[in-house]
Amino acid sequence: MSKKINITINGVVYEVEPGLTILEAAQNAGINIPTLCYHKDLCVAGNCRVCVVEIAGQKRLAASCATPCQENMEVLTNTLKVRNSRKHIIELLLSEHNADCTKCYKNGNCELQELAAEYKIMSQDLIDLVPYKDYTIDMFSPSIIKDDSRCIRCQRCVRTCAELQGVNALTVAYKGDKMKISTFFENSMNDVVCTTCGQCVNHCPTGALIEKNYIEDAWEAISDPEKHVIVQTAPAVRVGLGEEMGFEPGESVTGKMVAALKNLGFDSVLDTDFTADLTIMEEGTELLTRLKKALVDKDINIKLPMATSCSPGWIKYIEHMYPEYLGNLSTCKSPQQMFGALAKTYYAKARKLDPDKIVSVSVMPCTAKKFEANRPEMHDSGYRDVDIVLTTRELAIMIKQAGIDFRKLPEKKFDRLMGDSSGAAVIFGATGGVMEAALRTAYEIVTGREVPFDNLDILPVRGLEGVREASIKIEKPLENWAFLDGVELKCAVAHGLVNAKKVMDAVKEKKADYHFIEIMACPGGCLGGGGQPIPTNPEIREKRTKAIYEEDKNLSIRKSHENPEVIKIYKDFLGEPLGKKSHELLHTKYVARNRY
Amino acid sequence: MATTYNLKRADFIFRNENDWEKILNRTLQRDKTELINELISSELKGRGGAGFPTGLKWKLASESKVQEKFIICNADEGEPGTFKDREILTKVPFKVLSSMAICAYIIGAKQGIIYLRGEYRFLKPDLEKTISEFEYYCNEINFDFKIKIFMGSGAYICGEETALFESMEGKRGEPRNKPPFPTNAGYMDKPTVINNVETLAHTFTIFKYGATKFYDLGVQFSRGTKLFSVSGDTPKPGIYELELGMSLQDFVDEFGDGDTKAVQVGGASGFLVPRKRFGETAIGFRGKLTGISLPTGGSMMLFNSSRSMFNVLDNYLEFFREESCGQCTPCRVGCQQLLIGIKAVKQGSKPASYLDKLLKLTETMQYTAKCGLGQSVANSFSSIVENFREEMIY
Ligand SMILES: Cc1cc2nc3c(=O)[nH]c(=O)nc-3n(C[C@H](O)[C@H](O)[C@H](O)COP(=O)(O)O)c2cc1C
Ligand code: SF4
């Protein structure tokens, strides 16, 4: 046990854990210190300098985020010197910043703007530097807009891309007044290794990195009487949206969200969970088929481990970084794209609609979904399968624009036909969820019995550890699956691409003999997605995770293969998992991309 | 009033080094604590900029229990117009290498690194030859120590010790937060002693002649000698070894052209001293007795009355605006504001009183910038603006 440290903040003595920074000690004591470059997900940079405090006996101020507490340190957080310095720093940032806030997408949700308000920066003495800069806006990516004129060089995006994602698409270029956040050869975000995961967007304090929004397109479709506009919502949206509407993190708002979508004017409000269940049917079968071919037929062309393919950021990552492993990816489309393909075929047929008149909208916790929907191969219905992808944040904006009192909305249920969900589908939103859902179904297919875990909760694959491993021994399988008797099914789960890299490197170096790996591009899985409410941080992710598993627990159907609509679609339309129709509509191919 | 000397030339640094093997061998036999104490009692302070007591630095590094440690010689010499470190590495390289080895012995390092300024690439072949001769000798006396050269990338900021580590680790040359200090976690986060080339040359003198000899030179708080790079309006530009503590008046009498109106002491991050203060200014480290300090590498630039102080400041600010690493707000944006601000005052688009706002801004930069570069912009700015205000306006 290390000894506690005594430190005085604003005249009051506190006993703190050694190793704590001044900022952390102050936060624990309920003293607010402004920050900009600081983010709980990231290593400390200490470059914005807005968190400076005075330490007795020192002439210079200290960046509280980067200064460890020391025994008998006397800290002052609100002296004239501190206030004036912070104000100066905010003014400096504003002078380099395109501060026409009313024309900014982040107006109202910008940390710089908040600080300017807090410090009442009423006039600008300093000279506006923006006219002297040749700032550019990069709009080529279908997911992300990068506007250098709004950048405050805090490098949160750079650290996010490196530390959380291990991608390093964003880097610092040049020095001095020319210093900027850039990409390889200053190419567009669309032409570099960017996975479009949007974690940088989620971590940007200002409007420098934002999602490409399709709000107006959605409104236009809704207002067009000719169109039948359907919307699907991903599992993670329901545990994030509340935060944008004034709820505490961790409150699930499924019913209100459905009601709000109906109020917005969508013709049918459906659930991506339905295709999440479908994904399990297809992917689970695919896994078992691969296992059979590998173990019984000794087919050397079968690639194991099989990797999940639900996360489009992960897909783009592996296409860039490990193209030699594309054969390991499940050929299943993501739930969003399965939904899109079925919307303009199965749904259109059942509802007797002209698919040409259907506009398929999705609400996702994700910016990579925008890229995914835009992929040229995603036209298997004969149309663009998903027309418009909105993030959780965009949906929140639309709800506010519509003047809906979200809190008071009576809860509603999803519409039928592609609106049913199992608990297995809900947990897709959390890291480990796809794995758990797949195991619940696959184990039962193979053995005829439920997975041997209390309440179906496969705890080893849950949690927020970067990489988690689990194995299930298959005992007494049904006759068809006798070859799996005694096989120990080895699984790994990773979230955040920096952890995906660890798993892939282990596979590459033959240090791991997994059969099945689940990878989600974003920390925490989809509930921590790039399109989720800002801020997202470790505590908030934990709360959203709890909410997801709570939803699962409360559902009566908790296994994908028991979803009645799933049973129905196989009976009426698809035939069987991995059948001909499935192949046409629900499976896809991948492309190798450059590492640069 | 500062205690000052008349100008005293000295000749220690470039004095021949033929006896380096003897000195090295002899010193490596001595007790480590005794060596540290000797260095501490010499009161040698770092010649690279910050003026940190060298003996203390070595002591701190020696106290760390970590196995792997490093001794790095900072030869990035980026201050415009200075080339004293280059001279040392050309003329008396064995002194520097021997001191690195002695430091390695004391702190327990096996690897030394010379961080050589990119523009000094031409020194590399000779220096490598010298190093292999040196390593051969170390091997002969059974002293396990290797030195390698790391070529700098040409950015001024990489001379700052933590930016230097970053750049050696293959990252962007940006200063780190302190603490931790290099003696705890430096290069590769291992305990590291980093010293300027000249500092290491002085430690050789100290181990050769003893601390007293060194201590007896100079004045209180500023012991020993120092190399000065004299430039500007002077009939005798060049490098001179002088005892610390002289008065600036004596210096100007020796090196001026008879019309000296101001001297910039310590390069871009130093102070401008106007003629009326020559007499009361001593050249040495900041201490109770010396009037104005001598930060950084010993650059002395003389200006005669034909020079526009506005242009001088303009040049410095342009230098800082470009050479700031750009990571921290006060320095990156502050430098731009200062430069554009003095131009605005000069052109009349901002009132003269705007200079006072800019002075306040430099104060904030001094208090809040992350590293020595941004913190010291205030030095030249305030000393020039305060002493030559009318030149800034008209
Ligand atoms: C912007 C900046 C540039 C620096 N450049 C150099 C340099 O070129 N050479 C050098 O020895 N020290 C330089 N320093 C000082 C180093 O950070 C460090 O203090 C020095 O190398 C320590 O050695 P010393 O104790 O022997 O002086 C610089 C510091 C700053 C802030
Ligand atoms: S003071 Fe300047 S050079 Fe130093 S860290 Fe800040 S921006 Fe970089």
Q: Is the pLDDT of residue B4 over 80?
A: no
Write down the pLDDT at residue A243: 98
Cα–Cα distance for residue pair B56/B53, rounded to 1 Å: 6
Q: Is the pLDDT of residue B1 over 90?
A: no
Phi and psi for A104 in degrees, rounded to 5?
A: -110, 135
Q: Is the pLDDT of residue B136 over 80?
A: yes
Task: Give the pLDDT confidence of B168-225 residue by residue, as tens digits.
Answer: 999 999 999 999 999 999 999 999 999 999 999 999 999 999 999 999 999 888 999 9
Cis peptide before A34 (omega within 30 of 0): no
Atom of ligand 2 at shortest distance to CA of B175?
5
CB atoms within 10 A of CB B65: 6
Q: Is the pLDDT of residue A332 over 80?
A: yes
Q: Is residue A372 flagged as an active site residue?
A: yes
- Whether residue B273 lies inside any domain: the answer is no
The CATH number linked to A41 is: 3.10.20.740
Which positions in chain A touch B320 (Cβ < 8 Å)? 176
Mean pLDDT of chain B: 94
Residue B83 belongs to what domain range? 20-215
The CATH number linked to A283 is: 3.40.950.10
* Dihedral, A141, A142, A144, A150 alpha carbons, nearest 10: 70
In chain B, how long is the greatest CA-to-CA distance? Answer: 70
Assess contact for A531 and A556: CB atoms under 8 A.
no
| CA-to-CA dists, residue B165 to A73, B173, B181, angstroms | 29, 8, 12
CB B336 to CB A96 under 8 A?
A: yes
A460 or B285: which leads in pLDDT: A460
Among residues B215, B235, B266, which one ends one of the domains? B215
Which positions in chain B touch A47 (Cβ < 8 Å)? 327-329, 370
Q: Is the pLDDT of residue B289 over 50?
A: no
Strand pairing class (B283-284; B292-293):
parallel
**A384 and A478 belong to one structural domain:** no
Q: Is residue A154 flagged as an active site residue?
A: no
The CATH number linked to B382 is: 1.20.1440.230
Secondary structure class of B342 (helix, strand, coil): helix
CB B332 to CB A179 under 8 A?
A: yes
Write down the pLDDT at residue A115: 97
- Whether residue B326 lies inside any domain: the answer is yes
Q: pTM for the whole thing?
A: 0.95
Ligand 1 atom 10, closest CA:
B48
From the DSSP assignment, how many helices (H) and strands (E) are in chain B? Answer: 15, 13
Cα–Cα distance for residue pair A280/A557, rounded to 1 Å: 14
Choose from A58, A70, A126 for mutation: most chain B CBs within 10 A.
Answer: A126
Write down the pLDDT at residue B295: 55
Tokens, residue A89: 């720093």
How many domains would you assign to chain A? Answer: 4
CB atoms within 10 A of CB B121: 12
**A171 and A204 belong to one structural domain:** yes
Assess contact for A182 and A172: CB atoms under 8 A.
yes
Judging by beta carbons within 10 Å of its beta carbon (0-12, 13-18, 19+), is residue B134 exposed, middle or buried? buried
Secondary structure class of A573 (helix, strand, coil): helix
Q: What is the mean pLDDT of residues A188-194?
A: 95
Cα–Cα distance for residue pair A153/A155, rounded to 1 Å: 5
Q: What is the mean pLDDT of residues A264-272?
A: 97
**A537 and A445 belong to one structural domain:** yes
Query: Is residue B3 very low, low, confident or very high in pLDDT (cuts 50, 70, 90)?
Result: low
Write down the pLDDT at residue A502: 97
Which positions in chain B touch A95 (Cβ < 8 Å)? 333, 337
Query: Is residue B293 very low, low, confident or very high in pLDDT (cuts 50, 70, 90)?
Result: low
How many domains would you assign to chain B? Answer: 2
Q: Is the pLDDT of residue B288 over 50?
A: no
Q: What is the mean pLDDT of residues A298-308?
A: 94
Q: Is the pLDDT of residue A85 over 50?
A: yes
State in Å: Cα B333 to ligand 1 middle: 23
Cα–Cα distance for residue pair B67/B86, rounded to 1 Å: 32
Which residue of chain A has the CA closest to B335? A177
Cα–Cα distance for residue pair A51/B220, rounded to 1 Å: 38
Among residues A211, A237, A265, which one ends one of the domains? A211
Question: Per residue in B136-153, is it b (16+ CB within 10 Å) or e — as a string?
Answer: ebbeeeebebebebeebe
Task: Give the pLDDT confidence of B36-55 residue by residue, as tens digits.
Answer: 999 999 999 999 888 899 99
**A72 and A180 belong to one structural domain:** no
Residue A9 belongs to what domain range? 5-78
Cα–Cα distance for residue pair A476/A473, rounded to 1 Å: 10
Mean pLDDT of chain A: 96
Q: Which residues of A touch B (CB under 8 A)?
A: 44-50, 52, 59-61, 63, 66-68, 81, 84-85, 88-89, 92-93, 95-96, 125-127, 129, 132, 152-153, 155, 171-172, 174-179
Write down the pLDDT at residue B297: 77
DSSP assignment of B26-49 equals HHHTS-HHHHHHHHHHHT-B-SSS
Contacts of B194 (CB under 8 A, 6+ apart): B71, B72, B73, B74, B161, B164, B182, B186
Q: What is the mean pLDDT of residues A334-356?
A: 97
- Shortest CB distance from A177 goes to which of B157, B336, B341? B336
ipTM: 0.94
Query: Percent of chain B at pLDDT above 90?
Result: 88
CA A200 to mean position of chain CA atoms:
11
Write down the pLDDT at residue A295: 87
Judging by beta carbons within 10 Å of its beta carbon (0-12, 13-18, 19+), is residue A19 exposed, middle or buried? exposed
**A241 and A204 belong to one structural domain:** no
**A196 and A342 belong to one structural domain:** no
- Whether residue A505 lies inside any domain: the answer is yes
